[in-house]
Amino acid sequence: MMRIIAGTHRGRKIFSVPKDKFVKPISARIRQSLFDILRPYLPGATFLDLFAGVGTVGIEALSRGAGKVVFVEKDGVCMKIIEKNIAQLGFGEKAKALKADVLSGLKWLEHFSDYKGYDIIFMGPPYRTEENLPLAYSVRTLELLAEGGIAAPAAVIVVQHHKTEKVSAPAGLEHTRSEKYGDSVVDFFRIAK
């Protein structure tokens, strides 16, 4: 069972998908470290959670003071869990869950940030298919992000990916930090100056 680590809803349960569903939520260890790094940027932030899964990262952001979170996930079962989590935690006023394929483009998401851009963008694309074949969506998603122009000028962009996936900054973004956790790497980017 997953729980919110800190903030106004610390210790509250987060619903997840059945074990046989091929969704691997972010570990508590990575989540704790990620939010320790993001702490200065969170109060009142407009937060975008791409490849949201069951919404664990965005929900943690809301508990820790984000002003608004937009979740994007294409799986219908996961969407129902995100909506259930938002409702049971009372985050309905600050959260929007959208069923869409991230890889089909991101420009349309500017509307949901009130055209001000997202202050923090987190993406945790799946590492593998159900057949256990490796996936590599991170660079393409970063490219779509840069092309879409939906990040606020001082945005923090975070990518969690498998250590074997090589992730580099596309035109318009620059890499600022990297953290390793077992098989996972968390890379941080910003808009290129």
Q: Which of 58, 53, 96 is nearest to 75 (CA)?
A: 53
pTM above 0.85, yes or no: yes
Question: With contact defined as beta carbons under 8 Å apart, do 156 and 119 qualify?
Answer: yes
User: Which pLDDT tens digit goes with each residue over 56-68?
Assistant: 999 999 999 999 9
79 to 27, 96, 153: CA distances (angstroms): 20, 11, 29
The CA angle 149-117-178, to the nearest 5 degrees, is 75
pLDDT class of 20 with cuts at 50, 70, 90 = low
In order of their start, the domains of the chain are 2-191 (3.40.50.150)
Question: With contact defined as beta carbons under 8 Å apart, do 70 and 48 qualify?
Answer: yes
Q: Tell me the C-alpha distance between 72 and 49, whole Å.
A: 6
Q: Tell me the C-alpha distance between 71 and 53, whole Å.
A: 9
User: Which pLDDT tens digit goes with each residue over 26-74?
Assistant: 888 999 999 999 999 999 999 999 999 999 999 999 999 999 999 999 9
DSSP letters spanning 66-78: -SEEEEEE--HHH
User: Which pLDDT tens digit goes with each residue over 92-149?
Assistant: 999 999 999 999 999 999 999 999 999 999 999 987 777 777 778 999 999 999 999 9
Residue 25 CB coordination number (10 Å): 17
Q: Tell me the C-alpha distance between 174 and 169, whole Å.
A: 5
H or E stretch including 159?
strand 151-162
Span 155-167, mean pLDDT? 95
